[in-house]
């Protein structure tokens, strides 16, 4: 890929000792090793299952920029810290649970020529019926509240231009769950171009999804709805300042 600009690949990792060695090797072999000058940023979020030790062992061979935390910061804070480390003009973000195919990066990349953010769309999503239902309802609500109609707005597999990330880092991040959806809404409202591309989604091999914990759903839904009010205010504020 002689003319390809270098990328910053970001993985957020928490309690993934069963799969993380394979996932790291897969992303390195299929993506970062093929693009000279790329960086591989791994933001580990307070794992206690041996994930830290595996990553430390792999750091040198896979040229990892490793950001390890002794305590759990939460998905939103870990993502923000990882974005702050990224230096290259294209940023590729993916979940690290082994449910994504790194080769799908090459499906998203050509679409970036006419967009500023390209989001993976898990068209044949391999999740439980409850999670499929919640995702569908969430996408509908986002469409009604913000007018952003997408198939999979919170998908944790996407590429962004650095200028989008720079803008988002200047904004408050309101949601502790589904923050990728918030960032998408804010980027679109700022005028950045958003596109979707169907991607592969594999069943989770080990443990439960790190997504929304079903036992805490009522409280999570309340805080997401409260966050929507704050996001609306944020959008009005930066639109007013950009005039």
% pLDDT > 70, the chain: 94
The answer to whether residue 1 is domain-embedded is no
Whether residue 160 contacts residue 93, with contact meaning beta carbons closer than 8 Å, is answered with yes
Query: Domain of 60: which CATH number?
Result: 3.90.550.10
Stronger pLDDT, 206 or 49, i.e. the higher one: 49
The answer to whether residue 114 is domain-embedded is yes
The answer to whether residue 41 is domain-embedded is yes
State the residue range of the domain holding 179: 7-242
For residue 239, the tally of other CB atoms under 10 A from its CB is 12
Residue with tokens 């970062």: 32
The whole-number pLDDT of residue 85 equals 97
Beta strand 64-69 with 39-45 is parallel
Structural domains counted in the chain: 1
The answer to whether residue 2 is domain-embedded is no
Using one digit for the tens of pLDDT, what is the confidence trace for 42-84? Answer: 999 999 999 999 999 999 999 999 999 999 999 999 999 999 9
Average pLDDT score, the chain:
92
Using one digit for the tens of pLDDT, what is the confidence trace for 141-184? Answer: 999 999 999 999 999 999 999 999 999 999 999 999 999 999 99
**pTM of the entire structure?**
0.92
**Residue range 208-218: mean pLDDT, rounded:** 62
Extract the runs of DSSP E, i.e. beta strands, from 59-104: 64-69, 90-94
């Amino acid at each position: 890929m002689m003319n390809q600009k270098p990328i910053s690949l970001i993985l957020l990792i928490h309690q993934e000792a069963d799969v993380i060695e394979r996932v790291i090797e897969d992303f390195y072999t299929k993506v970062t090793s093929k693009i000279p000058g790329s960086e591989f940023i791994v933001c580990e979020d307070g794992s206690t299952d041996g994930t830290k030790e595996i990553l430390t062992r792999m750091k040198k061979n896979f040229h990892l920029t490793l950001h390890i935390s002794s305590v759990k910061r939460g998905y939103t804070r870990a993502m923000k810290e990882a974005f702050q480390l990224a230096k290259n003009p294209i940023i590729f973000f993916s979940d690290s649970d082994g449910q994504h195919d790194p080769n799908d990066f090459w499906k998203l990349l050509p679409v970036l020529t006419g967009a500023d953010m390209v989001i993976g769309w898990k068209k044949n999503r391999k999740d439980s019926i409850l999670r499929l239902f919640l995702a569908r309802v969430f996408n509908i609500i986002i469409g009604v509240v913000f007018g952003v109609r997408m198939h999979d707005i919170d998908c944790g597999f996407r590429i962004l231009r650095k200028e989008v990330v720079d803008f988002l880092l200047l904004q408050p991040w309101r949601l502790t769950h589904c923050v990728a959806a918030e960032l998408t809404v804010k980027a679109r409202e700022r005028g950045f171009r958003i596109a979707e591309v169907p991607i592969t989604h594999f069943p989770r091999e080990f443990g439960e999804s790190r997504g929304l914990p079903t036992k805490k759903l009522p409280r999570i839904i309340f805080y997401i709805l409260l966050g929507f009010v704050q996001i609306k205010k944020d959008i009005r504020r930066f639109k007013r300042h950009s005039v």
